[in-house]
Structure 1
Amino acid sequence: VRQHLAVDGRLHLKLDIATLGSVHNYTRSYYMSGGDYIISGSCEESVVRVCCAQTGRRLRDIPLE
């Protein structure tokens, strides 16, 4: 997952999430209301990832099952 700056399109963060290589996989990421965390999930995985919005470092994986 990559985050680009809206101002000029430069790469801002790259989240350390491995690609699945599937053409059907769809990943979405959202900022939490305070702006400190990014929540990311995928349609082909049963896990939600929590990452630091400043560094992109993965903080925790939360299983959905």
Structure 2
Amino acid sequence: MSTPRSDWSMFRDLLPFLRNERWLYLAALAMAPASAVLVVMQPYLLKRAIDDTIRTHDVE
């Protein structure tokens, strides 16, 4: 049996295939934290939308 390869060595083997679209991968990597922040903020924004609507528009 051969020894298992490390993740970094496999990543280095994939780099030639990723170089053509490197800007897309960098953009996705840069947008990941923004996406995480928006996912966390979603319940708060929904609460604000519901509370403000109920307060300003009488349901009856």
Scaled by the length of structure 1, the TM-score of the pair is: 0.17
Report the structure, 1 or 2, having the larger strand content.
Answer: 1
Larger radius of gyration: 2
Report the structure, 1 or 2, having the larger helix content.
Answer: 2
Scaled by the length of structure 2, the TM-score of the pair is: 0.18
